[in-house]
Structure 1
Amino acid sequence: MNDVIKTILSRRSVRAYTDRQLAQEDLDLILEAGRYAPTAHNGQPWHFTVVQDKALIDEMNVKAKAVMAKSDNAWVKGVGSDPSFHLTYNAPTVIVVSGKKDSMGLDTDTCAAMENMLLAAESLGIGSVWVGLLRFYLTLEEAPASLRLPEGYVPMHGAAFGYAGGPKLPAPARNPDVVTYIR
């Protein structure tokens, strides 16, 4: 099996991190992998914000949870109301992928960039988790300014990165009955 397939099959969402910050060389490689994601018409409509300021990461957590605590969805409300829950699991680095508002493939292109970064991190021995709940912060009116986004960009996705603070969990079973062949 080749290294790319091994990396894809071994990547797990990490939800416990050490305090050790990423080495700049590794962070540069992760970001480079994001920049090499495919895009509609090679638009490359993304902007990457690397947040390593613990105060801002904690503020993102607090503000997202405040929105979540008011949700009509019982699960979201419960998570938002849990004082012990930290959306980014106290990871030392959070990367937010933003996209140009008027780009053709905004969501698809920014998702591809995020996935490339998650796989690059795994290949470097760095843990990560795509944090969908960060959308409760990213959709706040103040988010673009706090993330210092260029004019015309909207924050789309966020993920936590760091060194795993525990053992890697086994992959959950995958449903093999999800393919239809038309030949």
Structure 2
Amino acid sequence: MNQTIESIEHRRSVRNYSPEQIKDEELENILETAIYAPTGHNDQPWHFTIIQNQDLIKEINEGAKEAMKQMKVEWISKLGSSKDFNIFHGAPTILIVSGRKDATSPLVDCAAAVQNILLAAESMDIGSCWIGFARFYFINPDNKEKLKIPDENEVHFGVSLGYKIRENPKAPERNQNVYTYFK
């Protein structure tokens, strides 16, 4: 099978990581794929903040959970209140993905970059998880400044990266009734 298709079909969100840090060369290769994602009008609006400092990762986790506790959506508030929940699942590396607010389609462009990151990581047998909860930490604008995220950017996503503790689970059944053909 084609390696790209194999990576797409095998990739799963990983929520169990070894504490061992991924190699710098692996991280650089993964990041390189992000900037090759398609963007509306070739805006390339993204900015990637790479964090491997465990104290800072813990601070972002706790800050996001504090903000989550205040959410009106019950399951988010409840998850934020869980002392055992870690939004990054113990990953040794996290990425914060932000995009320029004035770009044509920054949210979609950043999502395409994240998909490239996830697929590149899988192709290297590195676990990853797309983390929407990371943006809650940045409700406090001081946190954006603290992490040197450009002022003109909005934080959209986080990504956790690390070596997998166990193999990917089998893919859940996919709904195949989603195509309409006109030939």
TM (norm. structure 1) is 0.95
Q: Percentage identity across aligned positions?
A: 43
Contact persistence 1:138–1:156 (CA under 8 A): no
CA-to-aligned-CA distance 1:96-117 (integer Å, 9 cap, x gap): 1111111111111110001101
Determine the C-alpha separation between the residues in 2 that align with 1:182 and 1:78: 46
1:164 paired residue number: 164
2:93 paired residue number: 93
Q: Counterparts of 1:16-165 in structure 2 under 5 Å?
A: 16-165=16-165
1:142 Cα deviation from its structure 2 partner: 2.2
1:29 Cα deviation from its structure 2 partner: 0.5
1:174 Cα deviation from its structure 2 partner: 0.7
Show structure 2 runs of 5+ residues with no match: none
Determine the C-alpha separation between the residues in 2 that align with 1:72 and 1:107: 23
CA-to-aligned-CA distance 1:123-167 (integer Å, 9 cap, x gap): 111000001121211333123212211332221111100001223
Which stretches of structure 1, 4 residues or more, deviate above 6 A after TM superposition?
Answer: none
Determine the C-alpha separation between the residues in 1 that align with 2:138 and 2:167: 30
Determine the C-alpha separation between the residues in 2 that align with 1:142 and 1:117: 27
137-146 or 14-23, larger mean C-alpha shift: 137-146
Show structure 1 runs of 5+ residues with no match: none
1:74 Cα deviation from its structure 2 partner: 1.8
SS of 1:144's equivalent in the other structure is helix
The one-letter amino acid paired with 2:3 is D
The one-letter amino acid paired with 2:13 is S
Contact persistence 2:67–2:139 (CA under 8 A): no
CA-to-aligned-CA distance 1:84-106 (integer Å, 9 cap, x gap): 11000010000111111111111
SS of 1:31's equivalent in the other structure is helix
Determine the C-alpha separation between the residues in 2 that align with 1:78 and 1:167: 29
Determine the C-alpha separation between the residues in 2 that align with 1:82 and 1:114: 27
Determine the C-alpha separation between the residues in 1 that align with 2:70 and 2:144: 22
Determine the C-alpha separation between the residues in 2 that align with 1:140 and 1:116: 28
